[in-house]
């Protein structure tokens, strides 16, 4: 296959993806290539083959004139800098590292460190990179009323957040020993801490970073991924460490060249703006929650049915043998849906609830307990699958939660496939049998749906 070794072609792939507001996964799927291949192409690490290039041009109606494409595609951030102020910024960062360990031993009020971090450094960063105050907010902090363990300066994209407590931002984090500073694409720790508590939040924020990292396609060999080390001990500082997505570490008196620093900063700035495209019409919280779906044991209805049931089987090994599966006796109000990139709401199923339903059914098929199955390797239990009788996709029509034990049937694989793919007359018999068996439990959870309406959900007219 002919290889076309032109750097502008590699740039074209990323520009086209950003112009069309596609995630990396969506773009790779359209081009019929792997996510890894797309990553290497966009980062200039792989030549573009003719077949992939032609598919790109056909799908997005791109002119074959490379010069026209370079002139018309301006998605990448232009690298405008004032090198004089870039140099001043580097000098200021070095000065802060040199002085702050001693300055924080002095009184907080009127401390020179505030002037250096809060007043001077934001101005230097703004002038160095021509950051528009209509788009960006640059804020430094040394603490409130007392010194923070880690001084910081944040660059906020206002469309995403104006605060370090939530969302995503670029941040300069000074290690407590004054020997280094990290320039990091990071996350708001407070959102995770308030939702999950300290211990679980550290794991969740790292999962979010890992999932987002896979979409941003930076060359990992050139960046620090995963937790960073600020030589800190406090909860907030540990949150900064865990929240890192990509970072560069600069050492005292060993700062990068002006050229390297500019390249590093603009690389993060480009990725930061790309997060805004990935977010789409969702709020920042909604976007973050979408990154944690699988980690939280949540799956969308039907689309990932096989993956959902595989994870249910794994969860069976974690179930407390003494757990009371009837502990939630009262009907629960429906949970809020997950908002997708285009703004469309979509409801989710919980792995733990489905696993509990299978256990409550004693791992037998609800349509016929004599149906034979096999022993699941991961759980050691008879293999059955969880099926929501009333589809989760219809949750918007119900006030109360459909993702409950009373709406989940334990089915052998054959019966489960029958409900999804069987002939109408066979499917109808199964639906009627499950309805008769489950209708009272549904009623107890304030879920009401006449049998004819249930059949329509299964695309049956009678």
Share of the chain above pLDDT 90, in %: 61
Antiparallel, parallel or unpaired: β 3-4 and 345-346: unpaired
- Average the pLDDT over each of 60-74, 190-204, 260-274 and give the range with the smallest value: 60-74
229 to 50, 72, 244: CA distances (angstroms):
44, 42, 10
- Distance of alpha carbon 131 from alpha carbon 85, whole angstroms: 12
182 to 277, 295, 385: CA distances (angstroms):
25, 28, 48
Predicted local distance difference test score (pLDDT) of residue 1: 38
Q: Is 386 exposed, middle or buried (0-12, 13-18, 19+ CB in 10 A)?
A: buried
Q: What 3-state class would DSSP assign to 10?
A: helix
Against a cut of 0.85, is the pTM above it? no
Report the chain's mean pLDDT, rounded to a whole number: 87
In degrees to the nearest 10, what's the CA dihedral of 167, 215, 75, 60? -140
Extract the tokens encoding 283.
């709020």
Predicted local distance difference test score (pLDDT) of residue 304: 55
What is the number of other CB atoms lying within 10 angstroms of the CB of residue 205?
28
175 to 138, 154, 179, 229, 389: CA distances (angstroms):
20, 15, 7, 8, 54
Helices (H), 334-423: 351-360, 413-421
Residues sharing a CB contact under 8 Å with residue 11, sequence separation 6 or more, in sequence order:
44, 76
pLDDT in tens, 180-219: 999 999 999 999 999 999 989 999 999 999 999 888 867 7
Q: With the C-alpha atoms ordered 444, 448, 453, 454, is the resulting torsion angle positive or negative?
A: negative
Looking at the predicted structure, is the pLDDT value of residue 70 above 50?
no
- Distance of alpha carbon 173 from alpha carbon 240, whole angstroms: 8
Judged by phi (left if over 0) then psi (alpha if -120 to 50, else beta), residue 126 lies in: alpha
- Distance of alpha carbon 330 from alpha carbon 312, whole angstroms: 24
Residues sharing a CB contact under 8 Å with residue 421, sequence separation 6 or more, in sequence order:
none
Predicted local distance difference test score (pLDDT) of residue 127: 95
- Distance of alpha carbon 213 from alpha carbon 239, whole angstroms: 17
pLDDT in tens, 4-21: 334 467 778 888 888 887
Predicted local distance difference test score (pLDDT) of residue 71: 40
- Distance of alpha carbon 260 from alpha carbon 322, whole angstroms: 59
Of 232, 227, 261, give the one whose Cα is nearest residue 93. Answer: 261
Extract the tokens encoding 306.
């096989």
226 to 193, 248, 399: CA distances (angstroms):
18, 12, 41
In degrees to the nearest 10, what's the CA dihedral of 275, 276, 280, 286? 70
Predicted local distance difference test score (pLDDT) of residue 67: 42
Mean predicted confidence (pLDDT) in 432-452: 96
Beta bridge partners of 155: 138, 170
């Amino acid at each position: 296959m002919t290889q076309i070794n032109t750097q502008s072609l590699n740039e074209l792939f990323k520009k086209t993806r950003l112009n069309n507001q596609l995630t990396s996964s969506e773009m790779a799927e359209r081009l019929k290539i792997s996510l890894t291949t797309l990553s290497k192409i966009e980062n200039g690490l792989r030549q573009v083959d003719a077949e992939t290039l032609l598919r790109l041009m056909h799908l997005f109606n791109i002119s074959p004139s490379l010069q026209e494409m370079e002139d018309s595609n301006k998605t990448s951030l232009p690298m405008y800098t004032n090198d004089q102020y870039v140099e001043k910024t580097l000098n200021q960062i070095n000065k802060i590292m040199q002085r702050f360990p001693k300055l924080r031993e002095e009184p907080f009020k009127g401390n020179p460190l505030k002037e250096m971090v809060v007043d001077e450094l934001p101005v230097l960063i703004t002038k160095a990179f021509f950051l528009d105050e209509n788009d960006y907010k640059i804020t430094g902090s040394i603490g409130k009323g007392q010194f923070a363990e880690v001084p910081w300066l944040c660059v906020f994209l206002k469309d995403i957040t104006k605060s370090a407590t939530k969302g995503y931002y670029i941040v300069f984090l000074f290690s407590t020993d004054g020997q280094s500073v990290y320039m990091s694409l990071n996350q708001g720790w407070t959102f995770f801490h308030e939702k999950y508590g300290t211990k679980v939040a550290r794991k969740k924020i790292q999962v979010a970073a890992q999932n987002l990292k896979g979409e941003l396609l930076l060359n990992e060999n050139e960046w620090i991924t995963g937790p960073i080390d600020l030589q800190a001990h406090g909860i907030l500082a540990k949150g900064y460490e865990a929240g890192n997505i990509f970072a560069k570490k600069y050492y005292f008196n060993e700062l990068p060249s002006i050229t390297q620093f500019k390249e590093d900063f603009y690389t993060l700035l480009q990725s930061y703006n790309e997060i805004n495209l990935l977010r789409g019409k969702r709020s920042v919280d909604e976007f973050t929650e979408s990154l944690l779906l699988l980690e939280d044991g949540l799956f969308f209805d039907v689309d990932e049915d096989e993956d959902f049931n595989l994870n249910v089987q794994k969860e069976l090994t974690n179930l407390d043998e003494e757990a009371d599966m009837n502990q939630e006796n009262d009907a629960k109000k429906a949970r809020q849906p997950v908002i997708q990139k285009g703004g469309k709401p979509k409801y989710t199923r919980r792995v733990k609830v489905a696993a509990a339903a299978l256990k409550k059914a004693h791992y037998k098929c609800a349509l016929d307990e004599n149906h034979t199955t096999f022993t699941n390797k991961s759980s050691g239990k008879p293999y059955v699958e969880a099926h929501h009788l009333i589809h989760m996709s219809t949750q918007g029509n119900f006030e109360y939660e459909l993702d409950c034990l009373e709406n989940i049937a334990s089915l052998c694989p054959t019966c489960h496939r029958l409900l999804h793919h069987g002939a109408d007359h066979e499917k109808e018999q199964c639906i009627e049998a499950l309805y008769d068996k489950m209708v009272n439990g549904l009623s107890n959870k304030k879920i009401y749906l006449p049998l004819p309406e249930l059949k329509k959900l299964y695309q049956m007219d009678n």
